[in-house]
Amino acid sequence: MPRTASDVVFVDGVRTPFGRAGEKGMYAQTRADDLVIKCITELLRRNPQLPKDKVEEVAIAATTQIGDQGLTLGRTAALLSGLPNTVPGYSVDRMCAGAMTAVTNVASAIGFGAYDIAIAAGVEHMGRHPMGEGVDPNPRIIAEKIVDPEALSMGNTAENLHDRFPQLTKERSDAYAVGSQDKLQSAYAEGRIQPDLVPVATRHADKGYGLATVDEPPRPGTTVADLAALKTPFRAHGRVTAGNSAGLNDGATACIIASEEAARELGLPVKMRLVTFAFVGVEPEVMGIGPVPAAEKALAKAGLSIEDIGLFELNEAFAVQVLAFLDHFGIADDDPRVNRYGGAIATGHPLASSGIRLMTQLARQFEEDPSVQYGMTAMCIGIGMGGAVIWENPHFSGDNNEKDA
């Protein structure tokens, strides 16, 4: 039988406030699955026109799939979120790009016509489950020189990027990091972050009950001088510090992905339209360069150029990794199209959850700026990969002079 591809849209997205990992963090004694369940239930609450039995799949990403992030989380979280037991679910692992992959997986199935509406999500509780917990890398990875041992340490791969591109200095990385903190502070002051946050009730044996309503990692008021004084833990006299990198964080995200036809029929919002996406592999030793070939591949598939992209949401695993992307495409470090609300250096990066944060923020910026037709979400991925997704703004006015006015 002939099949017709469906247009795929981003309906809505939410996230928890991101916390600092560790016993002092606000989610220290909160379960990981409860974080993502909170996001799913909030999506359903905000979109009452979506009958629960119309959700046909739940894909949830986690990098460390163990304990309260394991047991086929997509299925168990679906049940605990109040979805009917007829709704299936599964788990995804592509390290930092887990949530991004959950989105592209369900989007592909929707585009193919296998189903019409799905929920994609991501969670990482790095306090309860540190990156690499319980893993056993095959000794051949190192013994057969498939990768350099440094490839298994993301911080070392960032130092390698500094080596490969000497123009990407520590001073540039620190300045970029300060800019990320400043932009997030401004976005909070203007009320641009809060609408997408889901308040989370917390409980701690010693601290008692609490309510998480804002991100915990940001350090407003940070200066370049502050960052210059930080230690370089991955290399003596190195360039990568805690200040120009994303921290260790806890948090969850979720979104509704649908065929445009189904969204329109149910009266669901259409916040973005999927154009195309690409995932690529790169040398694991310079993992951070991954978004460059991923973006090039996605642009080629879409028949677009980098100049057609009016907004970028780039995950800031490390400042140097974002700078490598910007330099490659001839984009200034402080280009206003890039991470308007700040990025992971300020907000935090709970690994597998971050891809949907990028998408949710891009969707809001699309609504704010109808002069932009296309946007991109992109990120580097551990063990040498990159991912990029291109989106179209359904609010596009066709007037590219509107922004200047």
Segments of the chain scoring below 50 in pLDDT: 401-405
Contact 42, 253 (CB under 8 A): no
The length of the chain, given as a count of residues: 405
Q: Model confidence over 284-305: pLDDT tens digits?
A: 999 999 999 999 999 999 999 9
Tokens of 222: 């940070």
User: Which position among 39, 96, 129, 162 bears the catalytic label?
Assistant: 96
**Contact by Cβ (8 Å): 171, 160:** no
Residues 282, 398: Cα–Cα separation, whole Å = 37
Contact 117, 50 (CB under 8 A): yes
Residue 62: per-residue pLDDT:
98
Q: Rounded to whole angstroms, what are the CA distances from 281 to 150, 160, 285?
A: 17, 17, 11
Residue 244 and residue 110 in contact, taking contact as beta carbons nearer than 8 Å: no
pTM given for the model = 0.96
Q: Which residues, 6 or more positions from 341, have their beta carbon under 8 angstroms from its beta carbon?
A: 183, 184, 187, 192, 193, 361, 365
pLDDT for position 1 = 65
96 is catalytic: yes
CA dihedral (199, 203, 204, 208) positive or negative: positive
pLDDT at 402: 43
Nearest Cα residue to 308 out of 393, 233, 207: 393
Inter-residue contact 329 to 296 (CB < 8 Å): no
* Radius of gyration over every alpha carbon of the chain, rounded to an integer in angstroms: 20
Q: Which residue is catalytic, options 39, 125, 255, 380?
A: 380
Which domains does the chain carry? Answer: 8-130+148-391 (3.40.47.10)
pLDDT for the residue numbered 3: 66
Helical spans, DSSP H, in 237-290: 260-266
Return the percent helix, strand and coil in the chain, to nearest 5: 35, 20, 40
Q: How far is CA 303 from the centre of its chain?
A: 25
> Tell me, what's the pLDDT at 93?
97
User: What's the confidence (pLDDT) of residue 226?
Assistant: 97
DSSP state of 311: E
Q: How many helices (H) and strands (E) does the chain have?
A: 12, 12
pLDDT (0 to 100) of residue 400: 55
Question: By three-state DSSP, how is residue 331 classified?
Answer: coil
Nearest-10 crossing angle of helices 319-328, 291-302: 40
Query: How far, in Å, CA of 71 to CA of 9, rounded?
Result: 29
What are 339-379's pLDDT values in tens digits? Answer: 999 999 999 999 999 999 999 999 999 999 999 999 999 99
395 belongs to the catalytic site: no
Active-site residue, selected from the candidate residues 125, 129, 162, 349: 349
Residues facing 201 on adjacent strands? 211
